[in-house]
């Protein structure tokens, strides 16, 4: 008996899976606070230049251009001639309920605005290092201990950041925080993915993300306003991470990971304990048959390959190499699009705090969209449609920002920003499950980690892409819309994973989905089969005619 058969016998959606989903929800709250802390702490409110020491000598006039908040001229009151032209040295900020962000406290605006982009970019540098390290650790010591360690590391980085006051130390704090950017979420995702029934996987994974991640995002701007400063917000956002210390007492290690390490007894023991929690009576012979199955399977594989699968093995054969390269490029596109759409909240006529909170509601319908449609149109169809529609919406938003006055069309622009976040969230969540199903079990931890580390490495540029908006506001939206359309086209070259036995080794991954057409979508296939069932005679006639036409 293989793993899926034994898991089904022990209970693939029982009390243990419910506990797992609850803790997965808690992890989503931590992940939300952690990732979007960089957004909450860096909102830049409307501001104006102040130079009180010059007021007695002349009349100050600020330049009437896009940089009017950054420079001024002093006119002589008697002659009207220019006495002095200078850059602003101090600013008056229109703070949201008195909230002190890192930009207002350290005056990182105008000529110093680049400092925020540089500091935040180190968050993604850290994510590259951390994802590689913790992904490797997950495949060496297990998913569960690596999940605990990465969560605590990210919280430590946020806590350290709260005490800094200059760019070098801020960059260091964001680097440490970024070490767990991806793995704080994905390692727990893998644990849930492997222990949850395939039939309930889409619902369980996405409804938890939709509800818990959404709630945390909606609350985080108001939590920041309540605590008053970006430093206190980082304290509040990082301390709940201590809750993961109880995970080893409540959860079991991935049985599939244990099998790849040939630790058959421990894998069987995990399943045995799950059966007990789920109230299932499973005969001991089932576990003995389970262990014998994988011992024999390992012996058969050793006759042809004496080495364990590695991530680099995914590049050794043509089809797996193509799949891996596409997943790498898609990860770059989706990571940058998700980050920019989620963070680019300023300059559209609405308070960035309110806009961030209100548009975060889109996470719930985004999760429900995946639940209702992913099992119908398939993983590939959902990934393709979300990127295509998201790219069109984002391009339209950029056009509207360029042509409309934000003060007069704030509601319309806020609605478009919300639609853009909706598309980006659907694309991001759909990609998470899709990539995990394509990557074979034997390298899933490293595969998911490495694919996303490339995405987060490319995410280094997202802060600079957002910075382009200081020169021309629609540039970030127009840039990522093109990327999303490219990503949609790449989805068509990947195989469908819906209702298929997923590959456990790289060798199985090479033959996975072989012979499948690029335009294959399960929903269209079901319609075709239903039509053939209704008109069987016509279908047979078509086959006969087709055969007769061959030479």
- Give the sign of the dihedral formed by CA 531, CA 537, CA 542, CA 543: positive
Which of 159, 235, 254 has its CA nearest to residue 444? Answer: 254
Render 29-67 in DSSP notation, one character per residue: HHHHHHHTHHHHTT----EEE--GGGTTTSEEEE-SSTT
**Alpha helices in 350-409, H assignment, sequence order:** 352-359, 363-403
What pLDDT, on the 0 to 100 scale, is given for residue 443? 81
Question: Domains in the chain and their CATH numbers?
Answer: 1-42+113-306 (1.20.1250.20), 47-93 (no CATH), 316-520 (1.20.1250.20), 524-551 (no CATH)
Which of 522, 516, 213 has its CA nearest to residue 373? Answer: 522
Which of 204, 208, 191, 205 has its CA nearest to residue 147? Answer: 191
In this prediction, the residues of the chain whose per-residue pLDDT falls under 50 are: 54-67, 538-551
Strand partners, 87: 71
Under 8 Å between Cβ of 90 and 50: yes
User: What is the rounded distance in angstroms from the CA atom of residue 380 to the CA atom of residue 488?
Assistant: 10
What tokens does 480 get? 């990522």
- 3-class DSSP state of 513: coil
Under 8 Å between Cβ of 489 and 473: no
User: What is the rounded distance in angstroms from the CA atom of residue 91 to the CA atom of residue 48?
Assistant: 5
What pLDDT, on the 0 to 100 scale, is given for residue 304? 58
Cα Rg, the chain, nearest whole Å: 27
pTM of the shown model: 0.74
The 10s digit of each residue's pLDDT in 394-429 is 889 888 888 888 888 888 888 888 888 888 888 887
**Element holding 411 (H helix, E strand):** helix 410-438
User: What is the rounded distance in angstroms from the CA atom of residue 268 to the CA atom of residue 251?
Assistant: 15
What pLDDT, on the 0 to 100 scale, is given for residue 536? 57
DSSP 109: -
**Element holding 84 (H helix, E strand):** strand 82-87
**Alpha helices in 142-277, H assignment, sequence order:** 143-161, 167-178, 183-195, 198-208, 214-227, 230-238, 247-250, 255-260, 264-277
Phi-psi group of 279: left, alpha or beta (phi > 0 → left; psi -120 to 50 → alpha; rest → beta): left
Cα-flanking dihedrals φ and ψ of residue 438, to 5°? Answer: -75, -40
What pLDDT, on the 0 to 100 scale, is given for residue 177? 93
Contacts of 110 (CB under 8 A, 6+ apart): 67, 69, 70, 87, 88
What tokens does 331 get? 């990860």
What pLDDT, on the 0 to 100 scale, is given for residue 173? 94
What pLDDT, on the 0 to 100 scale, is given for residue 294? 83
Under 8 Å between Cβ of 187 and 138: yes
Q: What is the rounded end-to-end Cα distance, in angstroms, of the chain?
A: 47
User: What is the rounded distance in angstroms from the CA atom of residue 92 to the CA atom of residue 154?
Assistant: 33
Under 8 Å between Cβ of 412 and 400: yes
DSSP 502: P
């Amino acid at each position: 008996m293989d793993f899926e058969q034994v898991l089904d016998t022990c209970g693939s959606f029982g009390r243990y899976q419910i506990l797992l989903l609850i803790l997965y929800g808690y992890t989503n709250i931590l992940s939300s606070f952690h990732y979007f802390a960089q957004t909450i702490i860096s909102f830049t409110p409307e501001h104006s230049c102040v130079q009180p020491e010059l007021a007695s000598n002349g009349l100050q006039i600020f330049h009437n251009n896009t940089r009017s908040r950054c420079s001024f001229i002093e006119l002589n009151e008697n002659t009207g001639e220019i006495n002095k032209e200078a850059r602003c040295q101090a600013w008056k900020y229109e703070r949201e309920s008195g909230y002190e962000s890192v930009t207002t406290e350290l005056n990182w605006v105008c000529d110093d605005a680049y400092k925020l982009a540089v500091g935040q970019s180190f968050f993604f540098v850290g994510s590259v290092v951390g994802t590689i390290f913790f992904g490797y650790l997950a495949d060496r010591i297990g998913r569960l201990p690596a999940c605990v360690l990465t969560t605590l590391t990210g919280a430590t980085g946020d806590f350290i950041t709260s005490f800094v006051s200059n760019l070098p130390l801020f960059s260091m704090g964001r680097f440490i925080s970024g070490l767990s950017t991806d793995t704080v979420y994905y390692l727990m995702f893998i644990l849930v993915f492997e222990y949850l029934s395939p039939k309930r996987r889409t619902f369980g994974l996405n409804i938890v993300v939709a509800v818990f991640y959404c709630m945390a995002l909606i609350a985080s701007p108001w939590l920041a306003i309540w605590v008053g400063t970006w430093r206190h917000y980082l304290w509040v956002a990082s301390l709940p991470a201590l809750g993961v210390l109880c995970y080893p007492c409540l959860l079991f290690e991935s049985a599939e990971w244990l099998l790849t390490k040939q630790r058959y007894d421990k894998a069987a023991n995990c399943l045995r304990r799950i059966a007990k929690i789920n109230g299932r009576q499973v005969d001991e012979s089932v576990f003995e048959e389970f262990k014998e199955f994988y011992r024999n399977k390992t012996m058969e594989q050793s006759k042809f390959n004496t080495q364990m699968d590695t991530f680099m093995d995914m590049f050794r054969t043509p089809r797996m190499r193509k799949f891996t390269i596409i997943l790498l490029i898609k990860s770059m596109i989706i990571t940058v699009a998700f980050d920019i759409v989620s963070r680019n909240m300023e300059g559209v006529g609405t308070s960035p705090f309110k806009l961030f909170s209100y548009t975060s509601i889109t996470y719930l319908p985004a999760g429900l969209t995946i639940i209702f449609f992913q099992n119908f149109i398939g993983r590939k169809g959902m990934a393709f449609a979300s990127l295509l529609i998201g790219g069109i919406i984002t391009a339209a938003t950029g056009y509207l920002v360029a042509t409309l006055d934000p003060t007069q069309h704030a509601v319309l622009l806020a609605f478009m920003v919300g639609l853009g976040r909706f598309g980006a969230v659907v694309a991001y969540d759909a990609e998470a499950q899709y990539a995990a199903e394509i990557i074979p079990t034997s390298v899933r931890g490293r595969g998911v980690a490495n694919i996303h580390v490339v995405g987060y490495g490319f995410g280094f540029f997202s802060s600079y892409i957002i910075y382009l908006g200081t020169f021309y506001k629609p540039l970030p939206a127009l840039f990522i819309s093109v990327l999303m359309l490219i990503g949609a086209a790449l989805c068509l070259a990947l195989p469908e994973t819906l209702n298929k036995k997923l590959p456990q080794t790289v060798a199985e991954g090479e033959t996975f989905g072989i012979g499948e057409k690029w335009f294959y979508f399960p929903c269209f296939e079901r319609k075709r089969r239903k039509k053939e069932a209704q008109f069987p005679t016509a279908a047979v006639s078509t086959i006969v005619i087709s055969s007769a036409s061959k030479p």
